[in-house]
Structure 1
Amino acid sequence: MDGVRAADNDRYLSALYAPAGKRDALLALYAFNAEIASVRDRIHEPLPGEVRLQWWRDVIAAEGDAETGHPIADALRATVAVSHLPKAAFDNMLEARIFDLYDDPMPSRTDLEGYCGETAAALIQLAAMVLDPAAAPSFAELAGRAGCAQAITGLLLLLPLHRRRGQCYVPADILAAAGTTAEQFVKDDGGPDAERAVAAMIALAREHLGAFEEGAAALPASLRPAFLPLALTRAYLDKMERRVRFAPGTRVALSTVRRHWLLLRHAMRGWALL
């Protein structure tokens, strides 16, 4: 699962804090997520992407333990079987990822939150089920908040890539309130309207992050690794806001040392002291 280290380093580092017997299962989930999140990068037209996503549906839905020859698919199938993960969650995740293949605008905040719920939030909940199936159901709502905060922050971090593609994940109602449109937001190099739209997205991410942090103190230590990427979310958002002008083309990153420190701190102490 070395691919996770390169494709999704934050989740890779978080998985290292899981018990040794659970790490491979978490990395299988994260490798699958990285695969379907990057389908757009490997295609030139949407249809081949839909075919690829359908292949994953068929692989996950298939009964039996026959190997596919695809190492990530085989590891995922084993994880689903051993941890008794709901296949419907993967089907919903794959359905949501169809949006990535097209340049359609995100209609509303509600649609964005639904997308985040079926992708990042579902992944957190599946990871929680791997780690502690008895405790995980009690924190499903918290996973929803965490997933929205993490996904919206991730979309902000990917703004340069999305602009090059001509994609816009900022909801139309947020863009309208900022005085712009999806077409203008993608083409512009910044400006007051784009700044207002980005600020609104940061505020939305903070809203979900705050709700997550209010309940995160109750997280048992057994579930922390599933939520551990959220240890970095506030730092990413803070860095975005500290910039005088956060133009859509600006790249935001945290140093390796800071990421390791934040992950270690929350892995050891959780969110109780925030």
Structure 2
Amino acid sequence: MDEAATTERETELAEHYRHCEAALREQDLDLWLACLFAPAQARPHLHAIGAFAAEISSVRARVSQPILGEMRLRWWYDALEAAEDNEGARAHPIADALFDTLNRCAIPREEVSELLETHSFDLYDDPMESLEALETYCDRVFGAPMRWRARIIDAADAARQEEALRLAGRAYGLTAILRALPRHLAQGQRFAPADLLARHRAAEDFAEAKATPAVADALAELRGAARDAFERARKSVRGDGAARAALLPAALIPLYLGEMERKGFDPFRSIAEPAQWRRQWRLWRAARGRGI
């Protein structure tokens, strides 16, 4: 590649990374704010990972039939396999920035493929079988991007924080699913674990979106699982290395769970949304070394 072509390519990539940052800020403000505390040279790659995760998570909402969603996921599979010479991927700002990030930061492509495969669940109305299955879903959909972001920031420190990252990703995912409950139900998605609902005899009430004591108990158990994973993650943090910046979004988990426990909160109609200044303050405190 000659000098002019190289310069053109660098300009194109820079524009695509800026696109990722704008997309992330619009779709996941918490993560965008957390990225501000990461090293400046890592941020474009963090934005690419975040924008990709948000893009894939929104597939269900953008299609009218599961087969159309499968086709979108298939496009990403194919682009991932042919990333080096795929003109279609290069024309897609998020895909182009993502594949550049994967190459530069040695993110395993098989983990990206696993995330895509896991998101197939989103496209159908099948129930989540168990709490264990939901935790596995969270590990792959929320935990994996958190681990990638840690590797981008500092691969050696990310290895030291492996257990904290695994548990924080799980806790963050469970909390995100609880927050999105009204939207998921409106779309016909059934993320609440069937075994948990059965244990509390809440399956019928939950299906009818009735905020009964049985449903409240079931959701309290799910919040308890999120809190447990968060506390274990907090205790698993090792030192104050740079990769801890990838854990920052998890610092918001107690705020969101606390909103869900407020009197009058309706899990089928309310959105757990603490004031933005409280979220920013929590991120700042965590970034200053006060733990997640």
Q: Do Structure 1 and Structure 2 share a fold, with TM-score over 0.5? A: yes
Q: Provide runs of 4+ in structure 1 moved above 6 Å.
A: none
**Structure 2 match to 1:171:** 193
Q: Which consecutive residues of structure 2, in runs of 5 or more, have no partner in the other structure?
A: 1-20
* Shift, 1:30, TM fit: 0.1
* Shift, 1:221, TM fit: 3.2
Measure, in 2, the Cα distance between the counterparts of 1:65 and 1:11: 31
Larger Rg: 2
Distance 1:245 1:78, change over 3 A: closer
- State percent identity of aligned pairs: 37
**Structure 2 match to 1:187:** 208
* Alignment-mate amino acid for residue 52 of structure 2: F
- TM-score w.r.t. length of structure 2: 0.88
Match for residue 204 of structure 1 among 192, 201, 225: 225
Decide whether the 8 Å contact of 1:224 with 1:270 is kept in 2: no
**Structure 2 match to 1:15:** 35
1:72-114 Cα shifts (integer Å, max 9, x gaps): 0000011000001100110110011001111110001110111
Query: RMSD of the alignment, in Å?
Result: 1.5
Measure, in 2, the Cα distance between the counterparts of 1:110 and 1:27: 30
Measure, in 2, the Cα distance between the counterparts of 1:63 and 1:232: 35
1:50 aligns with 2:70: yes
**Structure 2 match to 1:25:** 45
**Structure 2 match to 1:144:** 166
Match for residue 101 of structure 2 among 61, 65, 79: 79
Decide whether the 8 Å contact of 1:163 with 1:187 is kept in 2: no
Decide whether the 8 Å contact of 1:25 with 1:130 is kept in 2: yes
- How does 1:127-138 map onto structure 2 within 5 Å? 127-138=149-160
* Alignment-mate amino acid for residue 182 of structure 2: P
* Shift, 1:64, TM fit: 2.1
* Alignment-mate amino acid for residue 105 of structure 1: P
**Structure 2 match to 1:2:** 22
1:100 aligns with 2:100: no
SS in 2 for 1:64: helix
* Shift, 1:167, TM fit: 1.6
* Shift, 1:142, TM fit: 1.8
- TM-score w.r.t. length of structure 1: 0.94
What is the aligned residue count?
Answer: 270
**Structure 2 match to 1:265:** 285
Q: Which consecutive residues of structure 1, in runs of 5 or more, have no partner in the other structure?
A: none
Decide whether the 8 Å contact of 1:189 with 1:247 is kept in 2: no
* Alignment-mate amino acid for residue 174 of structure 1: L
Measure, in 1, the Cα distance between the counterparts of 2:99 and 2:139: 22
SS in 2 for 1:26: helix
